[in-house]
Amino acid sequence: MNNLNIVLVEPQIPQNTGNISRTCAVTGARLHLVRPLGFEVTDKNLKRAGLDYWNELDITYYDNLADFFSKNNGSFYYFTTKGKNVYSNINYPDNCYIVFGREDAGLPEELLYNNKENCVRIPMRPNLRSLNLSNSVAIAAYEILRQWDFPDLAVEGKLTRFNWD
């Protein structure tokens, strides 16, 4: 089974984290939250956005980035508007970590500078700031899962009143 790790560094908006939590639950991705968080995990907006999937999450909390890196190893990919590599041109290995920064500031530039080859960007118009964090995570996660041939995910749905056959 392939393992995808989604890392949010200091997320600030509970609805974004709730939406990302739901993405993690339906894809089986692990969620890593790096403090400080801009909300309490009991926040009603966080739970509402994640709906009833909260109990389906594999979630780990860290005190800061140093704590996160001391407890995890593997291939790290830093999603940033400052990246020089297009996210879909990367071949993501099993047990990779896709790392996203806070909504208002992104990831620390020193981290990006020291990991140039693993900084990736979702293409967008140059005069606009960025995509929404939860949309960016979904785009990245599904590109990786597509490359892995959607392991353990249902690729065909069923109608409720009719049969496809």
User: Residue 79 falls within a domain, yes or no?
Assistant: yes
Tell me which H or E stretch contains 62.
strand 59-62
The reply to whether 164 falls in a domain is: no
Query: Residue 66 belongs to a domain with what CATH number?
Result: 3.40.1280.10
- Decide: 64 and 34 in contact? Cβ < 8 Å: yes
Asked, for residue 160, whether it belongs to a domain, the answer is: no
The reply to whether 58 falls in a domain is: yes
Q: Is residue 41 part of a domain?
A: yes
**Structural domain includes residue 159:** no
- Residues paired with residue 21 on neighbouring β-strands, in sequence order: none
Placement of tokens 């995808």 in the chain: 4
The whole-number pLDDT of residue 55 equals 81
Q: What's the pLDDT score for residue 2?
A: 83
CA angle centred on 55, ends 157 and 148, rounded to 5°: 45
Per-residue model confidence (pLDDT) at position 43: 54
Residue 143 domain-assigned?
yes
In angstroms, the CA 139 to CA 130 distance is 13
Strands 96-100 and 4-9: parallel
Domain count, the chain: 1
CA distance 121 to 12: 21
Q: What is the pLDDT of residue 124?
A: 95
Instruction: Say what the pLDDT of residue 45 is.
Output: 60
| pLDDT at position 1 | 61
Using alpha carbons only, what angle is made at residue 28 by residues 22 and 34, rounded to the nearest 5 degrees?
A: 65
Strand partners, 77: 98
E strand or H helix at 24: helix 14-27
pLDDT below 50 — which residues of the chain? none
Is position 162 within any domain?
no
- Statement: the pTM of the whole predicted model exceeds 0.85: yes
Its domain, for residue 107, covers: 4-147
At 96-132, the pLDDT tens digits run 999 999 999 999 999 999 999 999 999 999 888 899 9
